[in-house]
Amino acid sequence: MTRRALLLAGTGMLRGVARELAVDGWDVVLPSRRYAPIPEGDPELRAVRWTAGNRYTPVGPGRATWVQAQWDEPAELAGKAGEVLAGPAHLLVAWVHEAYREAVLAAVEPLLSNAAPVVEVTGIPAHGDVVEPPDPHFPHRPTQQVLLGSTSDVAAGRPLRHEEIEEGVLEAVRRAIDGRPTSVHQLGERRTVRRP
């Protein structure tokens, strides 16, 4: 059975996650504004080819396919992603800007299989003393929420690194694939705001 994943995460923000899924045999569809290929220095990477008007990178037994799309055109994004998926997605990973989150996630919901788990990535809210994650967009689906801080919790005061984000999201993806129940996971810390 072909395992399909839909990865909504801006230009290149989760390339490592896409690569890991493809190496594990998943067909990954990545709608975004600009093409951001998996780095060519990757020893498991073969040549980038063109297919159906979209670039894709075969990696291991799976593949990662880029689809040009915009958050502010959610119906078009869903239509283009659906054409390339060629069947229901078995996993959704979504890191969508808050202004477009509701519309984009509503548009792609028909592309998901009935049992597809979700990984949602959002920033830690910048107000108040208590960190309250947003409600999962799909309350009926198991959702691994990843809350991103602005500073690392490994090295005080250092910004959260791209590698830390990718590894944290990849861990949430593994939990989703394993069928874990809905949970919230925080990466990094919220920057302290100093008031005079």
Q: Which domains does the chain have, with CATH numbers?
A: 3-187 (3.40.50.720)
User: Mutual orientation of helices 162-177 and 15-23 as an angle, nearest 10°?
Assistant: 40
CA-to-CA dists, residue 126 to 86, 115, 164, 169, angstroms:
39, 33, 20, 20
pTM given for the model: 0.84
Give the pLDDT of residue 47: 38
Give the pLDDT of residue 135: 85
Of residues 158 and 81, more confidence is placed in 81
Find the angle CA(56)-CA(52)-CA(58) to the nearest 5 degrees.
Answer: 20
Instruction: Work out the average pLDDT over 63-89.
Output: 92
Give the pLDDT of residue 128: 58
Which of 15-24, 29-38, 71-80, 187-196 is the most confident on average? 71-80
Give the pLDDT of residue 188: 77
Residues 131-169 have pLDDT tens digits of 677 788 999 999 999 998 877 777 777 777 888 889 999
| Residue in 85, 60, 113 with CA at minimum distance from that of residue 8 | 85
pLDDT band, very low/low/confident/very high, at 194 (cuts 50, 70, 90): very low
Give the pLDDT of residue 195: 39
